[in-house]
Amino acid sequence: MGIVDVNPESFAISLTCGDSEDPPADVAIELRAVFTDRQLLRNSCVSGQKGEEQSAIPYFPFIPDQPFRVEILCEHPRFRVFVDGHQLFDFYHRIQTLSAIDTIKINGDLQITKLG
């Protein structure tokens, strides 16, 4: 759960396999909210290679200076992503070993109020 900043540009939420920077950790899923384009982009990065970025969503769910709740469910064979209780999209797994996902990275124009 969090609150979007008053004048946001973007924020990102990533689930990764560790936090190594050299070599970079595999990214199972990265969600990037871009406010100028009203897009919620998602991608992965496996063995240093980014996958094909996905952008289709039914609507942009984030509002400046408002709270939100993101839920990422890990199911077979996909992540199912919800914002404020509404399913926005599925993202099919691109990494082989889901048990290696052990790190969450959050950065950008938001304040975290609760992780669970």
Ranges of the chain with pLDDT below 70 = none
Q: Can you give the residue ranges of every domain in the chain? A: 2-112
Quote the pTM value: 0.95
Give me the CATH topology for the region 2-112.
Jelly Rolls (2.60.120)
At 44 the pLDDT is 98
| Three-state secondary structure call for residue 104 | strand
* Whether the Cβ atoms of residue 35 and residue 12 lie closer than 8 Å to each other: no
- Exposure on the CB side of residue 95, measured as CA atoms within 13 A: 24
What is the predicted pLDDT for the residue at 48?
94
pLDDT, position 35: 99
